[in-house]
Chains A and B, each alone.
Chain A
Amino acid sequence: MGMLPDEIKPAMEGVIPSHVVTCSRDGTPNVTTISQVYYVDPDHVALSYQFFNKTVKNIRENPHALASVISPETLEGWDLEIEYERSETSGPVFDAMDMRIEAIASITGMKGIFKLKAADIYRVKSVRKNVDERMPLAEMDG
């Protein structure tokens, strides 16, 4: 059995933007919003590498990252401790992410700006549901 439960999959459809925190070798954190954390398999996710930005630079220096995702179905938030493994510039994961990013760019008016350079593959080290950050839907209704 892998690290990622099935119930987390809707949080990786790109409906609600995700956050990723990385850290440089000198210890400076970096937080950024990304359009999608892509589900690869029960032990891996992929992040889109679109620009050579601080996130990309940091994970080449220090492979540890934290991805925070929210399910559009249950609105539950999850924290994933992840570790960078490799980059893919072709293949099924790259193609699927490329197509999804094109669609997100089209919907959000960012066509021509969002462009996938690589699918960065991360191993999931831990998964935590953030029950302390969000109110359950039932509690809101009540």
Chain B
Amino acid sequence: MIPENVAEFVQSPIFLSIGTRDETLRPAHAWVTGAVVAPDRETVTCFVVEERARKILSHLEANGPVAMGAGSPTHEAYQLKGRYLSSRPADDQEGAYLESRRNGWLALALRCGYPEQIARPLILGFRHQPAVAITFRVEEVFLQTPGPDAGKKIG
């Protein structure tokens, strides 16, 4: 189960990315534009813009292991690892959530001191629709905040 503080963190407007791999163990990466943790904190649904989701999904449907990184400009960071369950197109309500999340993400980056001339086009420049909702079961959670405990399994 995902610790409560990590579930809150993952759903807050922070940097998210997903990693997968093909049958020859060559990895792939995509930015994630939002994530929702299920009430039981056992699964996560994350959103990847459709064009970028194709490669990720081909990996996930062929094998299944997935890693999602979550990091804040404050350096607090976690990684969730698990196995792919399903995917579907994001619906209109989720599209609205992704739109509002971008604004929160920008606000956080500016609060943390990112220069506006970089943060605004960087964050608002991520395509976020149409998106694919990718759901995976979380099997392990790791702390990734730089420091002596980085890499520690916490869930």
Q: Interface code A61-76, partner B: CB below 8 Å = 1, 0 otherwise?
A: 0101110101010010
Contacting residue for B31 out of A28, A75, A114, A133, CB 8 A: A133
Whether B118 pairs with A16 at a CB distance below 8 angstroms is: yes
- Tell me which residues from 23 to 72 in chain A have a Cβ below 8 Å from any Cβ of chain B: 23, 25, 27-33, 51, 53-54, 62, 64-66, 68, 70, 72
The 4 closest A-B pairs by CB, nearest first: A132-B51, A31-B19, A21-B19, A21-B27
Whether A140 pairs with B151 at a CB distance below 8 angstroms is: no
Whether B69 pairs with A32 at a CB distance below 8 angstroms is: yes
Whether B126 pairs with A32 at a CB distance below 8 angstroms is: no
Whether A132 pairs with B49 at a CB distance below 8 angstroms is: yes
Name which residue of chain B comes closest to A107, CB basis. B113
Interchain CA distance A66-B77 in the complex, whole Å: 20
Interface residues on B, range: 35 or more
A102 interfacial by beta-carbon distance below 8 Å: no
Main secondary structure, interface of B, reads strand
Interchain CA distance A89-B49 in the complex, whole Å: 40
Whether A133 pairs with B65 at a CB distance below 8 angstroms is: no
- Tell me which residues from 2 to 30 in chain B have a Cβ below 8 Å from any Cβ of chain A: 15, 17-21, 24-30
Whether B21 pairs with A27 at a CB distance below 8 angstroms is: yes
A110 interfacial by beta-carbon distance below 8 Å: yes
B101 interfacial by beta-carbon distance below 8 Å: no
Whether B17 pairs with A19 at a CB distance below 8 angstroms is: yes
Hey, which chain B residues are within 8 Å of A54, CB to CB?
Answer: 142, 151
Whether A22 pairs with B27 at a CB distance below 8 angstroms is: yes
List 9 A-B pairs, Cβ < 8 Å.
A23-B21, A27-B25, A28-B65, A29-B21, A31-B18, A66-B27, A68-B17, A75-B122, A135-B127
B68 interfacial by beta-carbon distance below 8 Å: yes
B39 interfacial by beta-carbon distance below 8 Å: no
A21 to chain B, nearest CB (A): 4
Whether A110 pairs with B122 at a CB distance below 8 angstroms is: no
Hey, which chain B residues are within 8 Å of A95, CB to CB?
Answer: none
A31 to chain B, nearest CB (A): 4
- Tell me which residues from 86 to 136 in chain B have a Cβ below 8 Å from any Cβ of chain A: 118, 121-122, 124-127
With A108-B75, A133-B126, A134-B126 as contacts: A33 and B15 at CB distance below 8 Å? yes
Interchain CA distance A30-B67 in the complex, whole Å: 6
Contacting residue for B52 out of A31, A33, A108, A132, CB 8 A: A132
B74 to chain A, nearest CB (A): 9
Name which residue of chain A comes closest to B122, CB basis. A75
